[in-house]
Chains A and B, each alone.
Chain A
Amino acid sequence: MKIVLKNVDVIHPEENINLKESSILLNNGLISKIGKLTDDDIQGAREFDFTGKILVPGLFDMHVHLREPGREDEETVITGCNSAASGGFTGVACMPNTEPATDTAEVVKFIIEQAKNHLVDVHPVAAASVGRKGEIISPMAELVDAGAVAFSDDGVAIKTASVLRRAIEYASMYDAPIIEHCEDETLADGAMNEGINSTSLGLPGLPSVAEDIIVSRDILMAEYTGGRIHIAHISTKNSVNLVREAKKKGIKVTAEVTPHHFTLTDDSLKSYDPNFKMNPPLRTQADVDAIIKGLKDGTIDCIASDHAPHSIEEKESEFQYAPNGIVGFETTVGLSLSELVNKNKISLEEFVKKISINPRKILNLPIPIFKEGEVANFSIIDPKHVWTVDISKFISKSKNSPFDKKLLTGKTIAVINKKKMFYDEQWIDLTSA
């Protein structure tokens, strides 16, 4: 099957490609030609007019929870991938807090197998310790062989400095980063950010210093061992500053942030709505400002959704008893474009780096190449598309989002990868006749 993507702006920040109103010809999902196309080229091709749209390397979400195996009632690998594609992603890295934990080659292979025929590339992050218990490091060599791209005890930080040291040292043999959920568990007995709002709402607080302590510990350990640390969902001003200083010293530390941490503050919790309950918790405006500064100056490398589906019955409860997390695939691009790009906080090129290029670099994954003969791996963005979030229309199996009814500007309207295309709510097999 031949298709033509017409009149589309093509941007690839890594390859310094910036073409206005260009065209791309694909033949059976492979890039056949970029630029001016002749009548012969487009003979018999299905045409997609993408005037005013922007084509970029396929977006990659490096922090997601697909819930399979274990909580298939909330999400499966397939429903998660459908949701990811609908949100504009062609690749994801999924976290190991499954049941059982992703701490054996069998579970890694199982997850990869589920996604084998899907448009979205799925790369498991394996547990850093057996059972994510922080006692014995996981069989990392086997896990890497099975396809794991990083290690994390996600949901919690690696419990002790000694296990952290072994995990970094062992993982560095395979140049795999340790992804840390930075939170000192002895300070983490709370339900929301500690501050004036937790005081007046009477909710137990999670102090920002609980994050900062583990970020400090991990940076020091990365420096000492020479290994790589990636800070998951950074949320505090001090942590952003710590990462900035560490990077200046050449320590191998990277960081990601979620859209909710650069768009919301703990003022949103006054309704006790569990859809605003997440970990790390929503912080203060000073933290949001520091995060946006960190996104601008490159301290924060990536934007990731922390897609965390939960069942309705679990989220419809007393705030303190509700689980943490929100579904994120289908709002991440819209929130980032609306709050960062459209407000001139970061450029579109920077945005693409943070949500396509940098995550793949951190995980040692190949970056999509815009060249003849390459498999097309694209996301097509409509930066002007105005839309309202409607959780009832989410493709994800779960609906727990604090952004219902929010008006956003900007959306990914199509994705192409693995010789498949998802556009206008339809799956198109690009190898069919």
Chain B
Amino acid sequence: MALSSKHLLGLQGVPKEDIQTILDTAHTFREILDRPIKKVPTLQGKTIVNLFYESSTRTRISFELAEKRLSADAINFSVSGSSVSKGETFKDTVKNIEAMKIDMIVVRHAAAGAPVYLTKITDANVINAGDGTHEHPTQALLDMYSIRQKVGHLEGLKVCIVGDIAHSRVALSNIFGLKTMGVKVSVCGPSTMIPRDIKDLGVDVIHNIDEAIQENDVLNVLRIQLERKAREYFPSIREYAKYFGITRERLEKNGKDILILHPGPINRGVELSSEVADGSNQIILYQVTNGVAIRMAVLYLLGTLN
């Protein structure tokens, strides 16, 4: 039950068997999270560095909990105030950390491809915790696991990813992973937020949210970035909420029991109305819990490889 790679850099090109193995392993770890004592000795003696070049409290906490529950030694290294301000290169920072004898690196970085580069300069197992607008594989894995648990299967499902596809690492990982698992994937959002060539990845493009609701079994709704640069891609938050936001009225109008995922944090009243964000269709907090199990599975499978 080993994976075909010693790293998890993304879901592009990851074989179906590997994804299956991760999801199945996560399922066995999921049970541990409901025990009174949520700890197993699986990775005892392993040292894992959470190397975060970009702040992300949720993802970091989720990885850290997963590491601690597997009894690994977890070190957090956030770079915002650390070596970048000293002018140290990424390579030197990584070499320094590696010299302290570590086994695995979980990396979050603003630059796409940084985890790939990491594998060229270190012998440690590398897990991508989000690189620029490229991939965020553990998020997609936990999304897939959550869907599989709720629906019972993945194959043959229709999933639409809604929002800013062009600037989303979650979207890309979901597209690659879901397609591998036999899911029919579409994306929905304003045309300015959808890459020109996305159809070449084998996904359909929809610009009408009602159609997206009608046509699909699952919506994975992304967070709309509200900072200045991302804001240039659509006219106003009001217009976005009106034409792409998911509300209870929209769900009722289209008369469909649809599963709604969101990677968080939610902009209430923008991509999801509060009623939907707290409603019966969504599984947002369920995803968060599953996230720990998925990360335990990935750490376990890579950490016990050698």
Contact = CB atoms under 8 A, between A and B. Distances in A.
Interface string A176-208: 000000000000000000111011111110000
Interface stretch (A28-36, A292-300, A317-325, A388-396): A317-325
Interface in A116-145: none
Contacts of A198: 195
A252 B135 CA distance: 47
Contacts of B116: 271-272
A313 interface: yes
B233 to A, nearest CB: 13
A316 interface: yes
Contacts of A313: 89
Interface in A301-324: 313, 316-321
Contacts of A196: 197, 200-201
Given A194-B196, A199-B201, A318 B12 contact: no
B285 interface: no
Nearest to B10: A202
A323 to B, nearest CB: 13
A202 B172 contact: yes
Given A202-B112, A203-B132, A318 B198 contact: no
B113 A272 contact: yes
A319 B117 contact: yes
A320 B133 CA distance: 11
A191 to B, nearest CB: 8
A316 B112 CA distance: 15
Contacts of B114: 318
A200 B132 contact: no
Nearest to A272: B113
Contacts of B134: 201-203
B111 interface: yes
Contacts of A321: 111
Contact of A199 (B90, B91, B111, B197): B197
Most interface-central of B89, B113, B133, B198 (chain A CB within 10 A)? B113
Interface string B146-186: 00000000000000000000000100100000000000000
Given A316-B89, A318-B117, A200 B172 contact: yes
Nearest to B136: A202
A319 B113 contact: yes
B112 A319 contact: yes
B90 A318 contact: yes
B143 interface: no
A219 to B, nearest CB: 25
Interface residues of B, number: 25
A319 B116 CA distance: 10
A216 to B, nearest CB: 20
Contact of B195 (A199, A272, A316, A319): A199
A123 B286 CA distance: 67
A318 B172 contact: no
Interface in A151-195: 194-195
A320 B112 contact: yes
B91 A204 contact: no
A200 B109 CA distance: 17
Interface in A257-271: 271
A319 B197 contact: no
Contacts of A320: 110-113, 132
Contacts of A319: 111-113, 117
A339 B110 CA distance: 38
Most interface-central of A201, A271, A313 (chain B CB within 10 A)? A201
Contact of B132 (A195, A199, A202, A317): A202
B271 interface: no
A199 B132 CA distance: 12
B64 interface: no
A272 B132 contact: no
B131 interface: yes
A317 B172 contact: no
A202 B198 contact: no
A200 B196 CA distance: 12
A194 B196 CA distance: 9
A272 B197 contact: no
A202 B169 contact: yes
A327 to B, nearest CB: 21
B135 A202 contact: yes
A203 B113 CA distance: 8
A202 B89 contact: no
Nearest to A314: B89
A199 B195 CA distance: 7
Most interface-central of A196, A317, A318 (chain B CB within 10 A)? A318
B135 to A, nearest CB: 6
A203 B111 CA distance: 8
Contacts of B91: 316-317
Interface string A319-345: 111000000000000000000000000
A385 B195 CA distance: 45
Contacts of B90: 317-318
Interface string B64-96: 000000000000000000000000011100000
A270 to B, nearest CB: 9
Contacts of B131: 202
Contacts of B132: 202-203, 320
A17 B198 CA distance: 54
Interface string A193-236: 01110111111100000000000000000000000000000000
A349 B131 CA distance: 49
B117 A200 contact: no
Contacts of A201: 112-113, 134
User: Which 5 interchain pairs have the tightest Cβ spacing?
Assistant: A202-B134, A272-B113, A318-B111, A202-B112, A196-B197
Given A199-B201, A203-B133, A320-B132, 16 more contacts: A194-B196, A195-B196, A195-B197, A198-B195, A199-B172, A199-B198, A201-B112, A202-B112, A202-B113, A202-B172, A203-B112, A203-B134, A272-B112, A272-B113, A316-B89, A317-B91
Interface of B: 12, 89-91, 109-114, 116-117, 131-135, 169, 172, 195-198, 200-201
7 contacts: A196-B197, A203-B133, A203-B134, A313-B89, A319-B113, A320-B110, A320-B132
